[in-house]
Amino acid sequence: MGTTIMVLNGPNLNLLGIREPGIYGTETLADIESICKRRGEKLGLEIDFRQSNNEGELVGWIHEAGRKADAIVLNAAAYTHTSVALMDALLSVGLPVIEVHLSNIFRREDFRHHSYVSKAAVGVICGLGSHGYELALEALAKTLNTTQEA
């Protein structure tokens, strides 16, 4: 088995493409999954892409990643700003984590400027739309020394 990256997406991201396109764009989560899988293939990464509106399910997937994956890309969405449970789970598994946000959270409401996820992340990418996921995969490939292309 190759290097596996678990790409986890939090609440309401299943509504991408129809939810506030002025903020989140018009791409769907399925579009982003396709982008990640194509980029992962070029980088020699196996992508395990998931979405849940349930905080507990995300925590369980993080625990699973600790046993089955080499790193995590996480767009925790609203849980970014509220979930100590996600932070604790990420710190517990000890995997490299890249935090991703489609929008620039620092140009938005003040409550979005704080991230519990950042405490466990090696890096944060925000404001670049779906391209942020590709950049996260590239960063993890480099971190894990699996990069196959420049």
**What is the Cα 16 distance to its own chain's centre?**
15
- For residue 25, what are its two tokens? 């764009």
Is 81 a catalytic site residue? no
**What is the Cα 21 distance to its own chain's centre?**
19
Q: How far is CA 39 from CA 36, 58, 129, 133, in A?
A: 5, 23, 15, 9
Among 14, 4, 2, smallest CA distance to 95 is for: 4
Query: Beta 3-9 vs 71-75: how paired, if at all?
Result: parallel
Contact at 8 Å (CB) between 101 and 13? no
Q: Which of 24, 79, 116, 133 is catalytic?
A: 24
Is 24 a catalytic site residue? yes
Q: Which of 63, 79, 101, 114 is catalytic?
A: 101
Catalytic site positions = 24, 101
